[in-house]
Amino acid sequence: MIDCISNGRLVSGFPVGLPCDANVNNGVPPSETRARFDENLELVLRAWSERKPFPFNGKFSQYGSVNIWPRPIQASGPAVWITGIGNPKTMEFCLSRSFGFNYFGWFGWKLTGRRIFDRFGSIAEQMGKKRNPFQIGFMQTIAVAETDEEAERIYGPHIEYFFRKALGSIPPHRLMLPGGIDIRGLEFVLRDPADFGMAAKMRTATFRELVDAGCVICGSPETVRDQLVAMCKDFGIGNLHAMLQFGSLPKELTQRNIDLFSTRVLPHLRPIWEGEYDHHWWPERLGGKPAASEEKVREEEAAL
């Protein structure tokens, strides 16, 4: 429906979600979380592409006749993005299916970014996949003011509130329940638990600690611009999810943050990978070149 309303501009994100959502609040056994996710993802993707009603007999869900209406406008279906915490299995899944990979930098790109994005590149190389920055998405909390001093003064209390009372209010042991992550992913988390170490400090983290860790990029347009450009180039990030409202940030200050970011920071980010790579994970109507769409064109040409 959203794809139709937006005339083919929908980008779809499929996160597994936090354990407190499915497991604690809704009683799904942690060991079933990923299996249910995989099954339902296949159901959604098939429903988008099938032109006739079809039965679906999964392990967890059974439907005699699946027939959605209306169907997406995008011929190849909306772009699919999978959100992960750095589990190699998730990265392999995205690369094998040509899905976009999202990493949320709640706990600081300076602490976790290098190992996460180097791992993605290493797995892509092992699988014989060409690395494309546009296949990677990264969410970053951002706060922009006229000067660094003003940014700390007006955003500091809201930043501390967000990380202490929102993310920090979730006990670390609730972020990863036993059985909710496969053994290989658990191995990588325990090998370098820097992000979960920061998670344990959230309840008492100060503004300066959050900035130093990269949990938030805050400052003048020049300060924010330089850090974001360096980060995107260094880690090979083609999609930046700029989180410009957080915690207790009021509407007026949020609007100011959006205005300063869009007018004085964003123009320096747009050209970073321009002309070097095709964006296969973005709607065609917005300038993307979906790979599935190109394959369909070739099939149609061959049929003619």
Ordered by start, the domain boundaries in the chain are: 1-76, 79-282
Output the pLDDT for position 196: 58
Main-chain dihedrals φ then ψ at residue 131, nearest 5 degrees: -75, 130
Pairing relation of β-strands 100-104 and 239-243?
A: unpaired
Q: pTM of the predicted model, to two decimals?
A: 0.87
What is the dihedral sign for C-alpha 121, 126, 129, 130?
A: positive
CA dist list (Å): 279 to 118, 208, 235: 20, 36, 17
As a whole number of angstroms, the distance between CA 33 and CA 19 comes to 9
pLDDT of residue 222: 98
Per-10-residue mean pLDDT, the chain, length 304:
96 88 88 92 94 95 94 91 88 95 84 88 94 95 98 97 84 74 71 61 87 94 98 95 95 98 97 94 93 52 50
pLDDT at 297: 43
Could you tell me which of 4, 12, 2 has the C-alpha nearest to residue 282?
12
The architecture in CATH of the region 79-282 reads Alpha-Beta Barrel (3.20)
pLDDT for residue 105: 73
> Which H helix or E strand runs over 63?
strand 62-66
Partners of 243 in the beta sheet? 141
Which residue reads 């061959």 in tokens? 302
- Whole-number pLDDT of residue 301: 45
